[in-house]
Amino acid sequence: MMILDGKRISDEVKAELAVAVRDMVARGERPPHLAAILVGNDGASETYVASKVKSCKEIGFASTLVRLPADVSEDRLLAEVARINADETIDGLIVQLPLPKHINEERVTEAVLSSKDVDGFHPVNLGKLVLGMPTFVSATPAGIMEMLKRYGIETSGKHCVVVGRSNIVGTPMSILLSRNSNPGNCTVTLCHSRTKDLASFTRSADILVVALGRPEFIKADMVKEGAVVIDVGITRLEDPSSTKGYRIVGDVAFDEVAPKSSFITPVPGGVGRMTIAALLNNTMLAKAQFSSNQKPQCHVN
């Protein structure tokens, strides 16, 4: 069994980006600039956005965090998106999800300029992904692909089972892994809440990607011996014994599944780290697109 070390690989990606930023600045260009809009004060969203901003600083990107109150009107939020869309000194814009219930997430996602949509959530970018065109690939699937690539994990001809069909993770992941690319060329099964006898599918997976949001749902008897296990889940469970008052748990019961797997991502320190690295990479691509009028490059063909 080998741990897929998201911290190590994301540090590698970030170091490469830092060198590229240094070269850019040495040529007299401004560094890439990421803006994030955070609505309200959900604890997990606060943590994610803080990590994104901190990572920008570490590698020399500029960043702007716009905080809006939980009761902000949709119009006010859309006005902020429009302001950032029009700001030529900002390359990438993310609106942290989830948004409060009174705000239409789809409307906000569509309002972000597709050329600044470094989350890859805009319908134009998701459409391009489906068609295999160069685009911003949403950060979690892009990060997982990068991790598979850097560990040299063979995917061609393998059966990949993706559990969870969200627009952000499960659906794009299933598309990327089924493509004629490397990583890719998998035979993909996409499972979801209506799948009957889920374990019969997960047990047949050479590569198992779990993005359910149900802590420690995947047990050892649901996994094939030697499988590659990618755990996308990040759930905060109350834990009075921890100084933070909570601990982070994945969708996979790590202690019992790890001994059966060939490769496995830990939580924390796995996919989450790669998501941030991929977001930074997308922001670099967004900047390159503005500088040279090139289209953003996709992670895969």
Residues that bind ligand GUN (CB under 6 A): 94-97, 119, 139-140, 275
263 sits in the region (left: phi over 0; alpha: psi -120 to 50; else beta) called beta
For 288, what's the count of Cα atoms within 13 Å in the CB-facing half-sphere? Answer: 18
CA 171-175-181 angle, to 5 degrees, is 155
The least distance separating ligand GUN from the CB of residue 292, rounded to whole angstroms, comes to 26
**What distance lies between CA 94 and its chain's CA centroid?**
12
Using the minimum distance from each CB to ligand GUN, give the nearer residue, 140 or 155: 140
Q: Cite the DSSP H helix spans in 95-137.
A: 105-111, 123-131
Residue sitting closest to ligand GUN (CB): 97
Active site residue ranges: 52, 96, 119
Output the smallest distance, CB 119 to ligand GUN, in A: 5
Bridge partners of residue 228, in order along the sequence? 207, 263
In angstroms, what is the minimal distance from the CB of 109 to ligand GUN?
A: 9
DSSP letter assigned to residue 231: E
Of the pair 5, 119, the CB lying nearest ligand GUN is at 119
Distance between CA atoms of residues 110 and 105, nearest Å: 9
Residue (44 or 62) nearer to ligand GUN, CB? 44
Q: How far apart are CA 127 and CA 135, in angstroms?
A: 9
Q: Toward ligand GUN, which CB reaches closer, 77 or 205?
A: 77
